[in-house]
Amino acid sequence: MSNHTLRVGLIGAGGIGRTHLASYDRVREAQIVAVVDINEQIARNAARQVGAQAFDSVEQMLNEIELDAVDICTPPAAHLEAALPAIERGLHVLCEKPLAHHPDAAREIVSAAEKKGVKLMTAFCHRFHPPVMALKRLIDAGELGEVVMFRNRFAGPFTGVEERWFSDKEVAGGGVLMDTSVHSVDLFRFLVGEVSRVQAVIRQTSPAIGEVEDTAIALLSTEDGRMGVVEASWVLVAGFNVVEVYGTEGAAMVHYWDGFKSRYKTNRMEDWQPLEEVGPDRFVGELQHFVDACLGRAPLQVTGFDGLRAVEVVYEAYRAAQG
């Protein structure tokens, strides 16, 4: 292994953990050398796939293997207990969204990383989705004028959610807003600006889901009155999954999973043009960015603070929804 290979321990090898695992194959200068999962069989299978060592506890991995970083892919309420000992040992941390199930836990992770001086990145993969990156470049170049309005719908049936931790408030910290709209809040902050006001309506459509919301709308606004609508549902028919921005000089929309092309148009253009879709997929892009930042090759662009803000905004939405 060269000096320039980041040794990463993957914590949690479920759905997204396996996506990360497969994506590291296309990431330069990083290697998964250990996999932890409380389910030993899952840990063993995942570790075998990449020639890593398997563990069933974070402590054991940290005691036995030399690492540079960890990649946390456990359910939200387990992020803090994985992040703190890793940070304590000076390891960099990539942590899946939401950074934690509660703002206090998210704050604890952020402040531990700051104290120790390690990199902490929240895995907001949508920032690395090639058309979103193209859109960000257009906005930064002023092509859309002042971006005043934003809309993001991430919605579609999540079959079996009532039997998964996603609908367990203790583990997830909330329902569809915590699961999905943390991404939307981050996209609003990335493309439009910091959230200063939150309004929300939440609803439970399927009684099987228990105590959390399965459908929601949040209205976000900035200090200077730029505005965004965030729509989320686990139970309604999918329809469009889209990020739209509208400015004084142009508009753009990024489509996901709905068959439509991502496109933009400015006042100077005759017709809609496709948004560039070049570069690696969002997971490879996200992991590569983390690795580059840990190796000192790029400043970290998505931080623990971004993860904390998204959780805070979702909690503000819950407070607002209660009236």
Does 15 bind ligand NAD (CB under 6 A)? Our answer is yes
Between CA 231 and CA 215 the distance in angstroms is 8
Count of residues touching ligand NAD (by CB under 6 A): 22
Stretch that binds ligand NAD, among 31-39, 86-94, 144-152, 214-222 (CB under 6 A): 31-39
For ligand NAD, which residue of 6, 8, 9, 12 counts as binding (CB under 6 A)? 12
Interactions with ligand NAD, residue window 226-285 (CB under 6 A) = none
In the complex, minimum distance from the CB of residue 33 to ligand NAD, in angstroms, rounded to a whole number? 16
Between CA 83 and CA 119 the distance in angstroms is 12
Residue whose C-alpha is closest to residue 24's, from 278, 277, 290: 290
Residue that is written with structure tokens 């590291």 in the block: 24
Q: Give the count of beta carbons closer than 10 Å to the beta carbon of residue 15.
A: 9
Choose between 160 and 239: whose C-beta lies nearer to ligand NAD. Answer: 160
In the complex, minimum distance from the CB of residue 42 to ligand NAD, in angstroms, rounded to a whole number? 5
Between vectors from CA 223 to CA 218 and to CA 226, what angle results, nearest 5°?
A: 60
Does 78 bind ligand NAD (CB under 6 A)? Our answer is yes
Residue 227 tokens, joined? 């505005």
* Residues 125, 282 contacting (CB under 8 angstroms): yes
In the complex, minimum distance from the CB of residue 248 to ligand NAD, in angstroms, rounded to a whole number? 32
* Residue, CB closest to ligand NAD: 14
Residue whose C-alpha is closest to residue 152's, from 84, 274, 252: 252
In the complex, minimum distance from the CB of residue 22 to ligand NAD, in angstroms, rounded to a whole number? 13
In the complex, minimum distance from the CB of residue 104 to ligand NAD, in angstroms, rounded to a whole number? 17
Stretch that binds ligand NAD, among 13-21, 26-34, 293-301, 302-310 (CB under 6 A): 13-21
Helical packing angle, 40-50 and 15-24, nearest 10°: 10
Choose between 176 and 293: whose C-beta lies nearer to ligand NAD. Answer: 176
Longest dimension (CA), the chain: 62
Q: Give the count of beta carbons closer than 10 Å to the beta carbon of residue 270.
A: 6
Q: Kindly state the DSSP code that residue 119 receives in the 8-state scheme.
A: -
For ligand NAD, which residue of 67, 100, 120, 125 counts as binding (CB under 6 A)? 125
Interacting residues toward ligand NAD by CB under 6 A: 11-17, 36-39, 42, 73-76, 78, 96-97, 123, 125, 179
